[in-house]
Amino acid sequence: MKTIWIIANWKSNKTVAEALDWVSVVGPELLPNEHVKVVVCPEFTSLEEVKKAVLVGNYHLMVGAQDLSPFDTGAYTGEEPAKLISQFASLVILGHSERRQNFNETDEMVKEKAEMARKYNLTPLVCIQSSKIPIPEETALVAYEPIFAIGTGNPDTPEDAGQAAGEIKQINGGLDVLYGGSVDAQNAEFFLQQDNLSGLLIGKASLDADEFLKIVKIAYSL
């Protein structure tokens, strides 16, 4: 049975209080299911509190970050390096299209960030917008997120996403490919049924604890 990743990407939205509310609703519902890994990627400002809440509640919830610095610790004002993030997170989203578009993030930067992530034992989840985008060496986890589908309410079809995932696997060898882009509790099951897809990266629908839980429960039921 393949591992299914259900990953919440909160982007730049929640206060610490809102983050903790979400964890208090979602956390107790999560099961020790070895085939379904549930991850939440909070804002940097909430990472520590979310991690603490997960530890105190003993929840089956991994914590991830949404980005990290291409540099190590040092004189880099405003940056969050992998070493410091790894105090709270075990996974990191890299190369999201919003970073590539709004912050001029290049493939080279994504590669440097992936190296930093690995140096400090963070699993990089590299987002690519098509099968043509290069994936840093040794990446095991990729999210296929076509631009037209991100935050638009206009998801890719599960069949096309599955086909793109197949191409990505063929070009890059054995890695797990997730789909992201307007996933919600209505369409999640159809993406998860695709053989080549190993999970979902969820933005807007992950902000609502109940909606996110519905998606997690679909994954548990497969």
Residue type, 110: V
Interatomic CA distance for residues 148 and 181, integer angstroms: 8
* 167 flagged as catalytic: no
Instruction: Give the range of 20-28, 82-90, 163-171, 201-209 binding ligand PGA by CB under 6 A.
Output: 201-209
Instruction: Give the range of 59-67, 133-141, 170-178, 197-205 binding ligand PGA by CB under 6 A.
Output: 197-205
Question: Minimum Å distance from CB 102 to ligand PGA?
Answer: 12
Instruction: Give the range of 30-38, 117-125, 160-168, 196-204 binding ligand PGA by CB under 6 A.
Output: 196-204
- Per the CB < 8 A criterion, the answer to whether 215 and 188 are in contact is yes
Interatomic CA distance for residues 109 and 137, integer angstroms: 13
Residue type, 116: M
Give the x/- contact pattern for ligand PGA in 54-93, rule: CB under 6 A. ----------------------------------------
Whichever of 84 and 215 has its CB closer to ligand PGA, that residue is: 215
Marked catalytic residue, from 43, 98, 105, 145: 145
Is residue 117 close enough to count as binding ligand PGA by CB under 6 A? no
Is residue 145 close enough to count as binding ligand PGA by CB under 6 A? yes
Tokens of 201: 């990266």
Residues that bind ligand PGA (rule: CB under 6 A) add up to a total of: 13
Helix (H) or strand (E) holding 169: helix 158-172
Question: Minimum Å distance from CB 138 to ligand PGA?
Answer: 22
Which of 46, 131, 139, 182 binds ligand PGA (CB under 6 A)? It is 182
Interatomic CA distance for residues 216 and 166, integer angstroms: 23
* 96 flagged as catalytic: yes
- Rounded to the nearest angstrom, the gap between the alpha carbon of residue 202 and the centroid of all alpha carbons in its chain is 7
- Per the CB < 8 A criterion, the answer to whether 30 and 51 are in contact is no
Is residue 183 close enough to count as binding ligand PGA by CB under 6 A? yes
- Per the CB < 8 A criterion, the answer to whether 10 and 40 are in contact is yes
Interatomic CA distance for residues 197 and 220, integer angstroms: 15
- DSSP 3-state assignment of 18? helix
Is residue 181 close enough to count as binding ligand PGA by CB under 6 A? yes
Which residues participate in catalysis according to the annotation?
96, 145
Chain residues in the site for ligand PGA (CB under 6 A): 9, 145, 150-151, 180-183, 201-205
